Amino acid sequence: MKLRPWLLMLCSSVLWTTAVAAKTDASIDRQATETRWQSYASTAQQTQPALDFPYAHCFSRAATAHDLPETLLLAVARGESNFEPSARSKANAYGLMQILWPGTAKHLGLEQLSEVLDPCTNVDAGARYLKELQQRYDGDLYRTLAAYNYGPGRIPVSGGRLPEGAVWYSAYIMRHLDYVLNGSSKRRKSTVRQRYAGQDRLFIIHFSRPYRAAAFVEQLQPRFGDLRLDWFRLPDGGFDVVLQYADKAERSRGEQLLDKMGFG
């Protein structure tokens, strides 16, 4: 993708400034993320997904079985795999909830890789692991999510400073939770729950670092009005910025905006 010079300069400036801020003000982000998880936890069991997500029966069943909010499980799955049951990371994490093979999988009683790749079995395993971590951290979802990504051995039960990557991951899942709860909050809500348009995404640009993708979205989102920009972690460790759209009309509007801004 070739960017017009003015846009390239603008993006470079914004990304550099935001990167510096992210590295120097990490404590502010950490505190804000922790507060948001505390707020969510207080009403989590009453929350409902805004859309019909793939494998909904798997998530509903696992949430009931392990006394967890369905919206939390959906947020983790969207952030980990975007609901792709065959997803595999470079670290050998598999499936919807990205269960690490063989370590975490066998810890959870899954002896065969075929079990890990089964959508409902994978979701149930992820839910069991989240419940185990939630109990370890006395209901602290901020640390629970950090440990889901980094492993409980690297996340203290209380006190201490969490690794920067673990803080990032907790905030990353919170971003996906916002989508699970609200869909595209910029679009007027319908009384009829719509199908999740996870596959309806228009690729914009790829980054190797998460803070660059986040900064890019934050800077450009106001220009897109009610159209929602988003970004996803990929199995190779990179990050794609995309435009979400629900129908052909929204895609066409998005393409026109992107063309005017120099993407094309």
> Which residues form the catalytic set?
80
Residue with tokens 């889901």: 148
Taking the C-alpha atoms of residue 198 and residue 188, their distance in angstroms, rounded to an integer, is 18
Taking the C-alpha atoms of residue 212 and residue 224, their distance in angstroms, rounded to an integer, is 18
Taking the C-alpha atoms of residue 151 and residue 68, their distance in angstroms, rounded to an integer, is 19
Q: Is 88 left (phi over 0), alpha (psi -120 to 50) or beta?
A: beta
CA 177, 45, 210 angle in degrees (round to 5)?
Answer: 15
CA 181, 27, 157 angle in degrees (round to 5)?
Answer: 75
Which one-letter amino acid corresponds to residue 241? V
Taking the C-alpha atoms of residue 17 and residue 216, their distance in angstroms, rounded to an integer, is 11
